Each structure stands twice: as structure tokens, then as C-alpha cells.
A and B are shown apart, each in its own frame.
Chain A
């Protein structure tokens, strides 16, 4: 079982690779809309990548109101 810190770290790695930004520029409490300069549809793309990586299925509504990596990690962690 992954720890919450591991999950958030893996999310940051994936987001950095997917959106081609240096990982050092990302931190768990970042607003990913702003840090990655993405819209909600691009966030859905990221979510698909995360689902494939963690082997979970997150309904769209789980993401409603979520805008930072740490909360996103918590949502994923709850389904691991």
C-alpha cells in the first residue's frame, strides 16, 4: 500500500511529465489549474493518466471543487 506522500509524489511526477514542466516547480498544495496553466478539460486528461497509473476509476464528480495536488492524491488514495 502506498503512503499518501508516495501518492502525491507520483502525481507530481506524472503531471510534470504530461504537461512538460520541471517537477521542482510543482508542490503538493499548488493550484494545478494555475501552476500548470490548464483548463478543466486538460485536467480530465491528467485524470485519465492518473487512473491508468494507479489502476483506479474516479468519477468526474470526485474532481469537482478539487484544485490542488494533495486533495487529488487523497481522492486517489481513498480508492487504492
Chain B
């Protein structure tokens, strides 16, 4: 098992790795099929330390916060290392949020520094809320020559000569603040410590090790907990290489597997399903005799890998399939959202192990993971080393809310003591997810207790966060729910948002109102949109301060009408 005990912070673990693996390649960055950057650990150090020095000279001190707002690329990791080297706290922001949302999180996090890609910065500066920005230092990457940076500095020029001071942090110090949601309502900034990350890294690499020569294809956004861990911290402390592709176009992703002989990749279910679709279509095009041979090889592979993966055997039996993935793929790591068991089984039967798991930002990266001994597509695996899980108040079938205790569980929510107290009770993190353990200790999930959805792209969407776009809608009142919250399902799929509408007395639901809802809905990014609506005939229950009692309303609707009354938008 990787020895991280000797390190008190991420900066120290990374600093050691840069020296230990100095000649190994740590980063490859490609723009479509054109390789742009290839760095060794030594090169990485040479680029990042002048940035750390410049940050320190700009009064960036221990505990100061720096946000990164970038797509996956080398400058993301270089900047993150410089921030940790200087003792800073990293705030990875989601580049897919709107500029207004990004500004809101910058404000909430009190980031002193922002590292941002030019196209994202341009959108922020054009936002009406831009004048409120309080971030003191903005470093803009890849800005065209002569571009107006609205007070920002070019990242590429922001460097100083001379060795920076390495600022040691303690395990209990804050390493990152990661927003799990809350852009429209109550920001949920998970405060994660160096201990959280070092322990998570130790546990994950115990089951899925990295080593020099491993090439990890980084596709999930690096601001996402999974990619931050398995696309940065994990590979770096083990001397592996991270490949960044500046596009998600399927044809270039497929090409990257082969070109860089990828060892691991993390994918959200949507992309895994897309790969499955592509493979199935290719199989269907085969002449019947070839298809028959393929089917027999798959059946043989299934038999030989029943108890555990045998990747070398699978590569021999199904060479064409494995060549399409570069020939060295050890596992597809999936996470961030529910994935259909049939999709996982499809890949496993082809000899490509699928490492699925379960986790939430509040618990670092993952709480459980499939250990493949044997592979179980119907579960989310077993608790990782050091993770304790309990099922609270189980019903007759043993299903209840999952609670977690682990050194990877966050310290608290930023500036929200009340929510922290509700979420971490006596040292146990209440996940809001429902599940049970089977006889072999694998966790099975059975839906959510909380009012939220997770998209196939791995995005957590809370109804409160998107309701503001409907402010002023000409109806008496409205409320958005996760459909599975109103009509509980014993599964994790079929998630969508539903709007309950209460019309004014004598108001009719006409085409103008429908159009208004459709237009407002379209202001939201596609993955955040409301999927349907229902007309509710009673006034919403409200608190003394006139807030909607969401839980009570949800229960009332769920009892009175079937899910079938929802009209699609």
C-alpha cells in the first residue's frame, strides 16, 4: 500500500514525487489529434515553482484561497501544485456553470486568486455581476496577444525567479473547498482537509494502483472529485502520467486510447453508454459467421473471468476489442452517477473491468468501490479500506439511509454550521441515499431520500438551485422537485426534475404560460432543465416565514397523484 503516512499535506507528497520521478513523463496534453505538451516531473517542477514564487511575492499566504476555473489541461495541475506549494487552499470551480454562478461561488469562497482560461474569463467580464468581483489577483491562461484582460494578468507571464518557500501544512488544515451544489440557493462548499485527500488516495490506490508507466486519460472535469483524485493526486504521487485531451469529441477520445495506450480512464455513465452503443453497432455490422465467433469468444471470456478479471486472457480472446481501447486498458472507472448494470456487464464480458463505486463530494471521492473479486454489476462495491458504513433505520427489506464514517469525510460546509450539524451527526455523514448490504458485504443502492437528482453526466442538481430562473412566473406559486423524491423508486435511474404549479384563481393553463415556462427553462444549461410539470389544485403548505414546506408538499403530491400526471416539457 502506498506510504503516505509520512506526509502532512498534499504539497509535501507532490513535492516528493516531482523529485523521485523526475525523469518520468507526468503530463501529455493533446488538442484533438495534435499533441501540444509533454512534460516530465522535472519539467513540471520547473514550470510550477516560478508561479509559486510569483504568488508568494503577490502576498499569497498560507491558508489563502485560490480558485481554478479551467477545462482539463496541464495548466490546471501546474497551478494547483503552485497553490499547494505556497500553502494555499484550492477551490476547484466548475467551468460548465454560467458566469453569474461562477461569480457567486467566487464571492462565497472569498477566493483571493483566480486562475482562469481566457474564454471563461471573457464570459465572466461580460456578466452584469462582474463589477462585484472582489478577487484580487486574476491569472488568465491562453489569452490572445493584446487581449483586454480586465485587470487580470497573463498566466504565462506571471512568474518570478528564485526559489519559493515551501509552506508546510498540517493534516487537519484545509486543502480544498469543493462546491457540491448551491449556485442558485444555498452554496454547499465542502471543506476538505489534507488528511481527507491523503487517506482517500491511500485507500483508492490500494485497490487500483498507479505506477510509473501508467497512463490515465483525464476526461471527467478536474474540478470533479473523481478526476482530482485519480487524474491528479493519485497518479502524481505514484509517478504515473496523466493525458489531457482538450476535446470530448468521441472520435478523438477513441483515437487517444490507441495513441497513448491508456491504462485507466474515468468516465461518467453517459460516455460509457455511448461507447457501448458504438461497440454494439460495430458488432451488428459483422457478417454472421464473424459475429458467431465473437459471441463464442465473449462466452468463453465470461466463463474464464467469472471469479476475477484476467485482462491478459481477455486481450488474447478478444484482440480487436482490446486494440480499439489501446490494448493496455486495465479498467474503466465510472462514477459521479448511476450506471446501468447491463452496461457494466457488457464491458466486463468483453474483458474490460469496470470499477464502479459510490461516493459524494462530502466524503472526498469514493466510499465504496467494486473490488472485482468477483465483479458485481448489481452493486456499487464494498467499503474502501478505512471506510465504515451503516444503514440507518432499515425497513423490512434492510433498506435505509446510508451513513459513513471515515477519515475522508469533509470537515464541514463552508460558512454553514446549521447544514453541517444536520449532515454530520456524531461523526457520521448522513448521505441521503438509500441502500442495503448484501450477504457478501456489497452495497446496493435503492434511490434517494433527498430532493435532488444526479444526471448521467455526473452533475448534482438541487431543485432550489434552479428555481430562481422561474422567478416572477405568472402563477400563484410553483415548486420544483426531483420526481423520485415525490414518487420514491427502488432504483437510481429515471431521474428528472418536475415543477408543481399552483395557478391563480380562475387562471387557465394556456399556451402563453407554457411558452413562458419553456423559454425560462431554456435559460438553464440542458442538464439542469425541468423535465415536466403538473398542475396542483391546493395552496402550498408554508412555514411561519412563508417558505414552502417542500417535504410536506412533496409528500402531499406523491400521495394524491401518480407520476403519470406529469406532462413533459
Contact = CB atoms under 8 A, between A and B. Distances in A.
Chain A interface: which size bin?
10 to 19
B34 to A, nearest CB: 11
Contacts of A40: 270, 457, 526-527
B250 A60 contact: no
B183 interface: no
Contacts of B248: 41, 44, 60
B71 interface: yes
B251 A48 contact: yes
B71 to A, nearest CB: 7
A64 B96 contact: yes
A67 interface: yes
A33 interface: yes
Interface in A33-67: 33, 39-42, 44-45, 47-48, 59-61, 64-65, 67
B249 interface: yes
B167 interface: no
A80 to B, nearest CB: 19
Contact of B250 (A33, A44, A61, A67): A44
Contacts of A64: 96, 525
Contact of A39 (B117, B120, B246, B456): B456
Interface in A12-46: 31, 33, 39-42, 44-45
Interface in B246-268: 246-251
B274 A41 contact: yes
Contacts of B120: 61
Interface residues of B, number: 22
Contact of A41 (B95, B117, B250): B250
B526 A67 contact: yes
A67 B440 CA distance: 46
A41 B270 contact: yes
Nearest to A39: B270
A47 B117 CA distance: 22
B526 A47 contact: no
Nearest to A44: B249
Interface in B407-458: 456-457
Q: Is the interface of A mostly helix, strand, loop or mixed?
A: helix
Contacts of A44: 248-250
B119 interface: yes
A33 B457 CA distance: 14
Interface string B310-350: 00000000000000000000000000000000000000000
B98 A31 contact: no
B183 to A, nearest CB: 14
Contacts of B271: 41
Given A39-B270, A40-B457, A65-B98, A60 B526 contact: no
A65 B96 CA distance: 8
Contacts of B476: none
Contacts of A41: 248, 250, 270-271, 274
B522 interface: yes
Contacts of B527: 40
Given A31-B522, A64-B96, A48 B270 contact: no
Contacts of B247: 59-60
A60 to B, nearest CB: 5
Contacts of B457: 40
A42 B95 CA distance: 20
Interface in A60-77: 60-61, 64-65, 67-68
Nearest to B271: A41
Nearest to B117: A61
B127 to A, nearest CB: 13
A48 B270 CA distance: 19
B279 to A, nearest CB: 14
Interface string B521-563: 0100111000000000000000000000000000000000000
A47 B249 contact: yes
A75 B402 CA distance: 46
* 5 cross-chain pairs, A with B, having the tightest CB-CB distances, nearest first: A41-B274, A33-B526, A44-B249, A60-B247, A61-B119
Given A44-B248, A61-B119, 11 more contacts: A31-B522, A31-B526, A40-B526, A41-B270, A41-B271, A42-B274, A47-B249, A60-B247, A60-B249, A61-B71, A61-B95
